[in-house]
Chains A and B, each alone.
Chain A
Amino acid sequence: MNELLPFLPLLLRGAAVTLALALLGLALATALGALGAVGRLSGRRLPAAAVRGYTALVRGVPDLVMVLLVYFGGQRLLNDLGALVGLDRIPLPPFWAGVLSIGFIYGAYLTETFRGAYRALPAGQADAARALGLGRGATLRLVLLPQMLRHALPGYANVWMVLVKSTAVVSVIGLGDLVGVANDVGKSQRAPFLFFGFVLLVYLGITWVSGRLFAAAERRAAR
């Protein structure tokens, strides 16, 4: 334990980086998922095909490969784009490369979650709402979304659980997240068991707490 204590502040800062990465990644994934679901459900051929290509790509490539690709390949892309608009350099630090890759990957899964939730709505709900004189926006906001939320919640919780654990791979591109810090320090202190043990406990804590929160949310939504 003596080896670990001096590094505790550093490890906790790493845990904060992990959480920030996960939450921002989830936000991006939610936006992409909503967009993707709308694309799939729009009934138009081009957007639907684009979304299908997106999900097929994500389903084919491991998260670690995606993170590395975004970090190295993404920088090339940004450089080229930057050159087009006359900017010298748009930096892509590991943290943002991580947020982009995690958001991109889990956006594809949330597309399916949201689409499934929409499909689970009983047919005729929208028509009934329209017949009552509600506009399109009001129908969506007052009738469809609240019900979709209930159907989407278990899938959303699942995606979050996998997403949180996925953040670990971002350490491979040199991010000082919880895993990255433990990896650097644990190895140079020659006490990897202790440091990785600590990391395991923190992740268990995160998944346990979020499991509780989502269970409570599901109970509320099911009322």
Chain B
Amino acid sequence: MKAGLILESWPLFAEGVWITVQLTVLALALGLCLAVPVAFVRLRRVRGLSALADGYVALFRGTPLLVQLYMVYFGLSQFEWLRDSWAWALLREAWWCALITFALNSGAYASEILRGALAATPAGELEAARALGLRPRQVDRLVLLPAALRRSLPQLGNEVVFMLHGSAVASVITLQDILGAGRALNARYYLAYEGLLTAAALYMLVTLVVVGVFRALERRYLRHLALAPVRVRSRLPAMR
């Protein structure tokens, strides 16, 4: 074990943690913004849009994140018309390619969670809101969505961990995230696993922080709901 080398390279790893956290947080935020309209469209079966939303969710939930990233980074850059378009300002940067892919991926999963939570909102809550004189849009915005978001907190927390872990594929498109830092250390000193072990430990640490934050959030926002969280199909069972 070359502990000295690892300690010496701390700026590399600090930078790596920053890039990983940045990508994960932004991707989740953008993903959630995308997930809300998609979930509503799929719930209400808006004509035309529904098929599009279904296709989007099926594509991103049905294929590996790594291949999606390869497609956006290497695949799209193959086309000259795209390289001549305004989109190239973003797509030429590995960082943006990763962020766009991660946001689309996370949006698809989050919309599925949200759709389940929306559908599972008790009819009584909505009737009460209508009885108070709220218009349908207001019911959606003020009652239905906040209630669904609260209910899906545990699953969304799970989703955060998945995005954090999924973001490790960013290292294959030249980004120096946590794993990228570990692999750079390995390549620099021809090590087999020291850099990887350091990366694993850092991912674990960040995961623990995320899980802690979400537990606190759940305690705060689900306290009044003396009910078990809605059973929604999330990616995997939460492990705690």
Contacts and interface: CB of A to CB of B under 8 A. Distances in A.
A34 to B, nearest CB: 15
Interface in B79-115: 79
Contacts of A186: 74
A166 B200 contact: no
Contact of B66 (A72, A73, A155, A168): A168
Nearest to A165: B64
Interface residues of B, number: 45
Contacts of B183: 68
Interface string B163-183: 011111101100000010011
Nearest to A63: B165
Contacts, number: 135
Nearest to A159: B236
Interface residue range, chain A: 35 or more
Contacts of B78: 190-193
A113 interface: yes
Interface stretch (A83-91, A124-132, A194-202): A194-202
Contacts of B204: 57, 60-61
A203 B197 contact: no
A102 interface: no
Interface string A151-175: 0001100110010011111011000
Interface of B: 58-59, 61-68, 70-71, 74-76, 78-79, 161, 164-169, 171-172, 179, 182-183, 192-193, 196-197, 199-200, 203-204, 207-208, 233, 235-239
21 contacts: A58-B239, A61-B165, A62-B164, A62-B168, A64-B169, A64-B171, A65-B199, A72-B192, A73-B197, A116-B237, A155-B237, A158-B233, A158-B236, A162-B235, A165-B63, A168-B64, A169-B66, A179-B64, A196-B71, A196-B75, A207-B63
